[in-house]
Amino acid sequence: MFISKAIAFAFFTIALEKNLSAADAFVTPKLSAASTNRRTAPLQVKVRGEGYGAPLDNISEAVGNTPLVKISDRICPEGRTIYAKCEFFNPLSSVKDRLALAIIEAAEKDGSLKPGQTVVEATSGNTGIAVAMMCAQRGYPCVITMAEPFSVERRKLMRMLGAKVIVTPKAGKGTGMVDKAKELSEKHGWFLCHQFETDANWQFHYDTTGPEICNDLKDMKLDYWVTGYGTGGTFYGTGKYIKEKSPDTKIILAEPGAANLVGSGVKTDRNDDGSPASSHPAFSAHPIQGWTPDFIPLVLEKGLDQSLHDEMVEIPGTAGVEMSQSLARNEGILTGISGGATMWAAVETAKKAPEGSVLVAMLPDTGERYLSTPLFASIEADMNEEELEIARSTPSHILEPVVA
């Protein structure tokens, strides 16, 4: 699945950039002088047919080493360069695969997770999917708590991976699903992942995501790194590494305008274990699933305490949805609302940045997680009038709409 997605992504990118037919897109094109000049560095990708590398021992070994993909001038402001860090190349298609692997490996190492013990966690979906993947691979029973508003396809994916999904009422928000996971852990003696509190979260990004970005850009400067936050692990770990290796890089942290928890300056009340004691007063519902729960996670707070970010950007209204749709239609990049929101922040930053600036924006997951959300609300399953006109332009196999 991982390799198939990579091939499909390369196919569509080439087809879009070169305006090739489906058959021609699989033939290595000869680069014109103009297209060669557009590159800011020599081509580093593997030759087609070279293979992935040695066979993997298990699916967890496919986590990480996701690519940076250049955004064209159809979206990127002129004179600037934006690269997307495409985390949907992870085996279960999100950045949270890193988090799940980090938590399970750390718990196995320190003995807090016993063989056959049930693993439980609260999640908006991507972490739960990743935890379910790791539990399936390692042989642990898995229980996930998830608040009612999050997309139903996420529930189905977790159940497909063998997890039990406990849906909590909408009124309880994110703190409700966290409280439920904690209750279940204490009642049944299950291992609680504590994704919002554990240092294993940010440490894995420090060890992997940060080095990947810096290594891939080793012959270029990185002027801006742009990210949002869910748990804060990507921001803290990756940001810490980037600031150590490239102190002049500016870190841009984004959050929904409707839920500007960090921007409010108000801290989250905490229980003794670092979990939220109550809902944050600045929170209100927003469309960016996976971002900004109704509390400031402890992992995020630790990163904020280190003053890693240089600027906050608030994402207005439906900007994340609109940019995600634009990435799909203009770049062939299918990412979720959080990816669209991050790219919107990157584009707005690039507009103000000096000419020649290089930016990297995190794209946390795939758009396929959002089929039942506002991202796909305008996408019809049935043929529209334009498609019917194309169908009727030749005589055979015309599926006419049923008249009620």
Same domain, 25 and 101: no
Is 96 assigned a catalytic role? Answer: yes
- Show the domain range for 133: 96-199
pLDDT at 125: 86
Tokens read off for 393: 């332009």
Q: Supply the mean pLDDT for the chain.
A: 90
Residue 98 has pLDDT above 90, yes or no: yes
Give me the mean pLDDT over the 320-343 stretch.
Answer: 98
Is 338 assigned a catalytic role? Answer: yes
CATH code at position 107: 3.40.50.1100
Would 346 be classed as within a structural domain? no
pLDDT at 46: 81
Cβ contact 86:69 at 8 Å: yes
Residue 6 has pLDDT above 70, yes or no: no
Give me the mean pLDDT over the 295-318 stretch.
Answer: 97
pLDDT at 44: 61
Q: Which of 185, 275, 338, 357 is catalytic?
A: 338
What's the predicted TM-score (pTM) here?
Answer: 0.87
Would 220 be classed as within a structural domain? no
Give me the mean pLDDT over the 346-354 stretch.
Answer: 98
Same domain, 112 and 161: yes
Would 195 be classed as within a structural domain? yes
Rounded CA-CA distance 82/358 in Å is 6
Residue 322 has pLDDT above 90, yes or no: yes
pLDDT digits (tens, 9 = 90+) for 34-82: 333 344 444 467 899 999 999 999 999 999 999 999 999 999 999 999 9
Residue 8 has pLDDT above 80, yes or no: no
Q: What is the largest CA-CA distance in the chain?
A: 71
Would 324 be classed as within a structural domain? no
Would 40 be classed as within a structural domain? yes
Cβ contact 168:307 at 8 Å: no
Q: Which of 96, 173, 182, 250 is catalytic?
A: 96
pLDDT digits (tens, 9 = 90+) for 362-390: 999 999 999 999 999 999 999 999 999 99
DSSP per position, 91-146: TTSBTHHHHHHHHHHHHHHHTSS-TTPPEEEE-SSHHHHHHHHHHHHHT--EEEEE
